[in-house]
């Protein structure tokens, strides 16, 4: 799954140039979550906006056989502290 994570990070960098870990994460590698067969990558941009990009994983037993990246979604609203 590391290759798929790298692809999502590259896609985010190509879209926004500079990206940063979001929330309490200290590295981009910590910014991934899974939702079913979706691998989600959460990140911040220079203005402090949070974005998410995802990819669909297709599995064959325990091996990933296909990975399709979804469109980059715009800023995700965050609650003010």
Domain boundaries, the chain: 2-73
Q: What pTM value is reported for the model?
A: 0.74
Could you tell me the pLDDT band of residue 79, with boundaries at 50, 70 and 90? Answer: very low
CB 13 within 8 Å of CB 76: no
Give the sign of the dihedral formed by CA 64, CA 68, CA 69, CA 71: negative
pLDDT value for 80: 43
> Could you report the per-residue pLDDT of 19-55, keeping only the tens digit for each?
999 989 999 999 999 998 899 999 999 988 999 999 9
> Could you report the per-residue pLDDT of 4-23, keeping only the tens digit for each?
999 999 999 999 999 999 98
Q: Return the higher-pLDDT residue of 71 and 8.
A: 8
């Amino acid at each position: 799954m590391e290759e798929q994570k790298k692809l999502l990070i590259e896609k985010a960098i190509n879209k926004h140039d500079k990206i940063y870990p979001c929330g309490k994460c200290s590295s981009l590698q910590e910014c991934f979550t899974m939702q079913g067969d979706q691998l989600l990558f959460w990140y911040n941009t220079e203005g402090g906006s949070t974005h998410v990009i995802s990819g669909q994983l297709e599995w064959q037993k325990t091996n990933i056989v296909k990975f399709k990246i979804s469109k980059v979604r715009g800023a995700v609203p965050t609650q003010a502290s």
